[in-house]
Chains A and B, each alone.
Chain A
Amino acid sequence: MSEPHDRSVVLSGVEHRFRARDGEVHALDRIDLALEPGEFLTLAGPSGCGKTTLLRLLAGFMEPSSGEITVGGRPVRGPGPERGVVFQQPTLFPWLDVRANVALGPRLRGAGKAERAATADRYLDLVGLHDVGHLRPYELSGGMQQRAQIARVLAADPDIVLMDEPYGALDALTRERLQDELLTLWRETGKTILFITHSVEEAVFLGTRVLVMSPRPGRIVLDEPARFSSDEAQVPPEELRALPAFTETVARVRGAIQHVEPPPRRAG
């Protein structure tokens, strides 16, 4: 527990192939990447390019065909509580109410009742769900479920949060509100975040570093700093999105994606 907090994530020569019905799929091609602690990394790319595969490798749900992933110098050998995952579909447990879902991480590591309650309160407040803690997950709207899932992941206190298109299924308004919330949470907690999205604006708006991946086999084709989310000036989001620097970055990222976008006749 008291070991130094070197939680940088390093992928070296990570390659992934898997068997599908129509033969072998080459999903990822030699990815070399380092995530520095406290970074907000966004990863954009055409659908089916292997973004989710990369996230699942980092989470430890599967192992790369070759290459190595290390967290704080230690190779990843499976899922671990230092790497939280926010899934595309909220995977809240319907047999627990929202509060108990949020308090699950502390409960699993054996925290006492008082600590569990305090943690649940803190993170329910943080995502604005303190009024619905007693409800079951299926009684919440999609946006609220996603917030509850984020609260649950943060309450388990991971160093790294992996988010797989968490806002993909939400309407535009909810999405923008949750983006702002997420930035606030990130500034308050200082976690390392890897955020996958297919929305270029979202990637540029949120990330301190924007990555673009090519179609299969996935490679990182653009790795570019973006400082909008960490801007000290704290420009209101609407204005920020209108800044020339913002639109330029968006154009550059979009260009990188379109440059590698597969011809339309191929199924996406």
Chain B
Amino acid sequence: MVPAVATTLSVRAPRGLLLHLLTFAVVLTAWTLVSASDVVSPAYLAPSPLEVWDAFVRANSYHPIGGGVDRVVRGEEGYFLWEHLVVSLRRIGIGLGIAVVVGVPLGLAMGLFRSFGALLGPYVDFLRSIPPLAYIGFLVAWFGIYDTSKVWLLVLAAFPPITLATINGVRGVREDQLNAVRTLGASQRQVITHVLLPATLPDILSGLRVAVGFAWTTVVAAELVNGLPGIGGLAYLSGTQNKIALSIACILVIGFTAIALDAVLRISEKTLAPWRGKA
């Protein structure tokens, strides 16, 4: 899983850094040796790290189409690789945004009003237990093959973890914290804004981290259908077209982006809820 990878990459001591560099060098060397050998043939199926780097650079620049033709093209499939990435990230951003706007209030309501939570709980559990990609067929039938169906898919993938984490957070709020703020003169609304929401924030942020992981895997898979521009779509298409170096470049970009996203969320968790685990 993404968080595990991110943890191994978080480097503290210089000695740790050295070990990481060493490991990385070993991996690169092994990769170069395999691609140089005849283990995999034809050779283009096993590009070397350098070839992957070249494919990465080409995909981010104007470059001649090759094969003796003079035409110069923009990146891959008309977009630079980073543009493919931005399109995928944008889809995630919108999907997650909607999931937060729907999931947090829903979780608050389900956590606050037990009977309401008991009533809707099974449905949220049900939605969570379904692999999001199972919806893609009927979402395409409903919303077409463009972005709408992909965003819907991301909302469906992201809102159950957010809602469940919010419910969990609300139920974990100590009764006396609510009582305390009431005896300080808080109105019903102030109880929610001054205690319930901040007390639930750490759980909402953890839910968000899980949701981002879900959404990222889902968007890449969702782009198998009419996914261009999109980093997942490009990874898939280039693979089917035997552009293995480009495909691997895309995969590396996907992996590193996921790690970076998680790192950003972990940092914001620490800045926004520094009391987590301490109080």
Contact residues in A for B186 (Cβ distance below 8 Å): 108
B174, B183, B185, B273: the one contacting A59 at CB < 8 Å is: B183
> A138 near B176 (CB under 8 angstroms)?
no
Contact residues in A for B279 (Cβ distance below 8 Å): 94, 136-138
> A87 near B278 (CB under 8 angstroms)?
no
> B184 near A156 (CB under 8 angstroms)?
yes
Contact residues in B for A99 (Cβ distance below 8 Å): none
> B278 near A138 (CB under 8 angstroms)?
yes
Contact residues in A for B187 (Cβ distance below 8 Å): 108
Can you report 11 residue pairs joining A to B where beta carbons are below 8 Å apart? A81-B184, A85-B183, A91-B180, A94-B275, A94-B279, A95-B198, A104-B184, A136-B279, A138-B279, A153-B184, A158-B183
The 8 closest A-B pairs by CB, nearest first: A81-B185, A94-B275, A94-B279, A79-B182, A138-B279, A95-B198, A91-B180, A138-B278
6 new A-B contacts, CB < 8 A, other than A87-B176, A104-B184, are A59-B183, A81-B184, A85-B179, A89-B176, A93-B177, A94-B278
Interface of B is mostly: helix
Interface check B112, CB cutoff 8 A = no
Interface membership of chain B positions 197-233, coded 1 if the CB is closer than 8 angstroms to chain A and 0 otherwise:
0110100000000000000000000000000000000
Interface of A is mostly: loop
Interface membership of chain B positions 174-196, coded 1 if the CB is closer than 8 angstroms to chain A and 0 otherwise:
10110111111111001000110
Contacting A at CB under 8 A, from B231-279, are 273-275, 278-279
Interface check A80, CB cutoff 8 A = yes
Contacting B at CB under 8 A, from A69-85, are 78-81, 83-85
When C-beta atoms are compared, the residue in chain A nearest to B180 turns out to be A91
Contact residues in A for B275 (Cβ distance below 8 Å): 94-95, 136, 138
Task: Indicate the size class of the contact surface on chain B.
Answer: 20 to 34
Q: Known: A81-B185, A95-B201, A138-B279. Contact between A108 and B180, CB under 8 A?
A: no
> B198 near A81 (CB under 8 angstroms)?
no
Distance of B108 from chain A, by nearest CB (Å): 16
> A95 near B176 (CB under 8 angstroms)?
no
Q: How many contacts between A and B, using CB within 8 angstroms?
A: 69
Residues of B that sit less than 8 Å from A by CB: 174, 176-177, 179-187, 190, 194-195, 198-199, 201, 273-275, 278-279
Interface check A46, CB cutoff 8 A = no
> A83 near B201 (CB under 8 angstroms)?
no
> A104 near B181 (CB under 8 angstroms)?
yes
Interface membership of chain A positions 35-75, coded 1 if the CB is closer than 8 angstroms to chain B and 0 otherwise:
00000000000000000000000010100000000000000
Interface membership of chain A positions 153-174, coded 1 if the CB is closer than 8 angstroms to chain B and 0 otherwise:
1001010000000000000000
> B179 near A79 (CB under 8 angstroms)?
yes
> A95 near B273 (CB under 8 angstroms)?
yes
Q: Known: A94-B279, A104-B194, A136-B275. Contact between A156 and B180, CB under 8 A?
A: no
CA distance A137 to B273 in the complex (A): 13
Q: Known: A91-B177, A104-B184, A152-B184. Contact between A136 and B274, CB under 8 A?
A: yes
Interface centre among B176, B180, B275 (most CB of A within 10 A): B180
> B184 near A59 (CB under 8 angstroms)?
no
Contact residues in A for B190 (Cβ distance below 8 Å): 108
Distance of B194 from chain A, by nearest CB (Å): 7
Q: Known: A91-B177, A138-B278. Contact between A79 and B199, CB under 8 A?
A: no
When C-beta atoms are compared, the residue in chain B nearest to A83 turns out to be B183
Distance of A218 from chain B, by nearest CB (Å): 21
When C-beta atoms are compared, the residue in chain A nearest to B187 turns out to be A108
CA distance A95 to B195 in the complex (A): 9
When C-beta atoms are compared, the residue in chain B nearest to A149 turns out to be B180
B184, B198, B278: the one contacting A108 at CB < 8 Å is: B184
> B198 near A93 (CB under 8 angstroms)?
yes
> B185 near A108 (CB under 8 angstroms)?
yes
When C-beta atoms are compared, the residue in chain A nearest to B275 turns out to be A94
When C-beta atoms are compared, the residue in chain B nearest to A104 turns out to be B184
CA distance A85 to B274 in the complex (A): 27
CA distance A94 to B177 in the complex (A): 11
